[in-house]
Structure 1
Amino acid sequence: MRKNENSFPVAVLPNILTFCNIIMGLMAIIVAAADQFTLAGLLIILGAVFDRFDGKVARKFHVTSEMGKQLDSLADVITFGIAPAITIFMLSFTELQFLGLILAITFVICGAYRLARYNILNYDNVFVGLPITVAGFLLALFALYQTKFDVHPYITAIGMLLLSYFMVCKHHIKKV
C-alpha cells in the first residue's frame, strides 16, 4: 500500500528540519558563551545543512506553506544572524567592547532586514543581496579559522562589515 505524500510524518518533516536548524543556532550561542568557539562554528555549519534540506523536502513532497517560510526565516535569524554574531563577538571583539557590540548588532539587523525584504519580494532565480545563510556560514568558517590562527580584530571587523553590507545591497546574485 502506497502512503499519501501529504501524510502526517511527511507533512511535518520540513518543519522538523527547521526546528533542528533553530536548535543548532541556540546550541551555538550557548557553547560560544562557554568559550567553545570551534563547536559553535561547527553547530552553525550543521544548521546550514538542516536549512538546505528543509525547503528541498517541502518542495519535493509539495508541503510548502507560508508558515514554513516564516518559520525558516526566524530560524535563519537565530542560526545565521545571532549565533555567528555572538560567536565572533566573544571570540574577537571582547577588547573592542562598544565597537564590537555595534558590529554584532549591525550584522544581525542587516540579516533580519535582508530576510524581510526577501520574504516580500518576488525574484525568480536571483537573490537580492547576499543571503543571511551564506553570510552566517562564512562568519562561522571565519570563527573556525580564528580558533586556529591569530587574526587581528580589525580584520574581523572589516569582514563582518562587508558581509553586513552585502546582505542589504541590491546586487543580484544568481541562485544555484
Structure 2
Amino acid sequence: MNRIGKTLFPVALLPNILTFCNITMGLLAIIVAASEQYTLAGTLIIIGAVFDRFDGKLARKFEVTSELGKQLDSLADVITFGMAPAITTFMLSFSELRVLGLILAVTFVICGAYRLARFNILNYDNVFVGLPITVAGLLLALFAVYQAKFDIHPYLSAIGMVLLSYSMVCKHQIKKV
C-alpha cells in the first residue's frame, strides 16, 4: 500500500476540499454582490482567503502536492480573488461609470490571471514577482466592505483597481513570508 493508503486517503483529499471551499466562497460572493449585499460579498472573499491559506500548507505538510492541485488552486484564485472582488467593486462603485467600470473590472481579472499563469510557469525561490492575486483580491474585498459602510467616491475605487492591477503584473519582487 502506498503513502496514500486507506488511513491517509481522507487527509490526501483535504487540500482539494479546501480549494473547492475557496471556489464556493468566490461564487457565493458574486451571487450575493448581484443582490447588492456587498459587505457579505467582501466577507465571503475574506473567508475564501482563509481556505486558500491552508490548502497548500496542508498539501505540503501531508506530502500530497500535485500539479492538479496547483492548477486547481490557480483556477480558484481567479474566481475568488479576481472575478469576485472585481464584480463586487463594479456593482458597488461603478453604477454611473459603466464603461470605465467594465474596463477596470476586466483589466483586474486579466492582470490577476496573467500573474497566476506567470507564477505557475516560472520558478522563483523565496520571492513573489508582482503582487499575488490573493493579496490584491483580499485588499479589494476589504475596501468593498469599508465602502459598503462609508461613502467613498467611485474614482477612489478606480484608482485602487488600477494600482492593484498594475501591482500584480509588475516585475517587482516581494519576499515571501
Q: Same fold (TM over 0.5)?
A: yes
Letter in 2 for 1:50: F
Q: List per-residue Cα deviations over 1:47-75 (Å, max 9, x = no partner).
A: 00000000000000000000000000000
Residue 126 of structure 1 corresponds to 127
Map 1:44-55 to 2 at 5 A. Answer: 44-55=45-56
Kindly tell me the number of residue pairs found equivalent between the two proteins. 174
Question: Per the alignment, do residues 5 and 131 of structure 1 end up closer, same or farther by CA in structure 2, a change over 3 Å counting?
Answer: farther
Per-residue displacement from partner, 1:119-153 (whole Å, max 9, x unpaired)? 00000100000000000000000001101111110
Give identity over the alignment, percent: 82
Structure 2 stretches lacking a partner, 5+ long: none
Aligned partner of residue 76 in structure 1, secondary structure = helix
Q: How does 1:129-168 map to 2 (within 5 A)?
A: 129-168=130-169
1:26-175 matched pairs, under 5 angstroms: 26-175=27-176
Question: Tell me, what secondary structure is at the counterpart of 2:100?
Answer: helix
TM-score for the superposition, normalised by structure 1: 0.97
Verify the 8 A CA contact 1:85 1:108 in the aligned structure 2. Answer: yes
TM-score by length of structure 2 reads: 0.96
Q: In structure 1, what residue type is equivalent to 2:39?
A: T
List gaps (5 residues or longer) in structure 1: none
Q: Tell me, yes or no, if the aligned pair for 1:24 and 1:46 is still in contact at 8 Å.
A: yes
C-alpha deviation, 1:7, in angstroms: 2.0
Per-residue deviation at 1:86? 0.2
CA RMSD of superposed structures (Å): 1.2
